Chains A and B, each alone.
Chain A
Amino acid sequence: DAGVTQSPTHLIKTRGQQVTLRCSPKSGHDTVSWYQQALGQGPQFIFQYYEEEERQRGNFPDRFSGHQFPNYSSELNVNALLLGDSALYLCASSPTGTNSPLHFGNGTRLTVT
């Protein structure tokens, strides 16, 4: 049973470009959350998707957007990349339900130069 998978594992982009990160949730999970983790910091909540809709959003600008597909997989898009967007982006899945334990992927390391 595959856990949460994220692609790509590493990515280097130039300031101003756009990036798309992908996540496949653990089998049986229908809720996907995205987190941004800067070096030395804890993961910061970006948004959560359920039933193909954004249900919750953290304090991130509109440059960050997402999508969830009918098979529950998800994408995170970031437009107009800034140097400060360099971070580890983590995807977490969970079954429906309040505060169910999250299952995390190993993340995508994004470097913006």
Chain B
Amino acid sequence: SQQGEEDPQALSIQEGENATMNCSYKTSINNLQWYRQNSGRGLVHLILIRSNEREKHSGRLRVTLDTSKKSSSLLITASRAADTASYFCAPGGGNTPLVFGKGTRLSVIA
């Protein structure tokens, strides 16, 4: 298993602004997943991008994947206070379980 490393560790923005967080990993993957965790709750799956995809959208979320740089980014457009949470990336490949890094803590200020 490999763990993604999210950057920045913390991000604070105003409501309505866009939030971008990044994920780097070390070895080749089959896919990469992003999860959100509200304080004290379980993780919620947001989006899965496969290694042959470069960009994927879901509502206000846009995920990019650059396999040559071994990195991914998650963009949340027009952020809302309800987007305040921790965000985790999880590189996936082979028959190994998903592992998580420390995440990015996003604070959206109303």
Contact, CB under 8 Å: A102 / B45: yes
Residues of A within 8 A of B64 (CB): none
Q: In the complex, what residue of chain A is closest to B46 when comparing beta carbons?
A: A101
Q: Which of B88, B92, B100 touches A99 (beta carbons < 8 Å)?
A: B92
| C-alpha spacing A104/B6, complex, angstroms | 20
Closest Cβ neighbor of B43 among chain A residues: A104
Flag if B98 contacts A42 (CB, 8 Å): no
Q: Contact: B94 with A104, CB < 8 Å?
A: no
Most buried by A among B41, B43, B97: B97
In the complex, whether A25 has a CB less than 8 A from a CB of chain B is no
Say yes or no: is B31 at the interface (Cβ < 8 Å to chain A). yes
| A-B contacts at CB below 8 angstroms, number | 60
A33 within 8 A of B: yes
Q: What B residues does A90 contact at CB under 8 A? A: 42-43
CB distance from A8 to the nearest CB of B (A): 15
B interface, by DSSP: helix, strand, loop or mixed?
loop
Across the interface, name the chain A residue whose C-beta is closest to B32.
A99
Nearest residue, chain A, Cβ from B96: A56
In contact, A103 and B45 (Cβ under 8 angstroms): yes
CA A40 to CA B86, docked complex, whole Å? 10
Q: Is there a chain B Cβ closer than 8 Å to A106's Cβ?
A: yes
Instruction: Judge if B16 is at the interface, Cβ distance under 8 Å.
Output: no
- Would you call B42 and A107 a contact (CB within 8 A)? yes
- How many angstroms between the C-alpha atoms of A35 and B97 in the bound complex? 11
Q: A42-B88, A98-B30 are in contact. Are A4 and B42 (CB under 8 A)?
A: yes
Chain A residues positioned under 8 Å from B102 (CB to CB): 40-42
When distances are taken between beta carbons in the complex, the residues of chain B under 8 Å from A98 are: 30, 92, 94-95
A92 surroundings in chain B (CB, below 8 A): 42-43
| Chain A to chain B contacts (Cβ below 8 Å), 9 pairs | A43-B88, A44-B99, A44-B100, A88-B40, A102-B43, A104-B42, A106-B40, A107-B40, A109-B40
- Nearest 10 pairs between A and B by C-beta? A104-B42, A99-B92, A42-B100, A101-B45, A104-B43, A106-B42, A42-B102, A43-B100, A56-B97, A42-B101
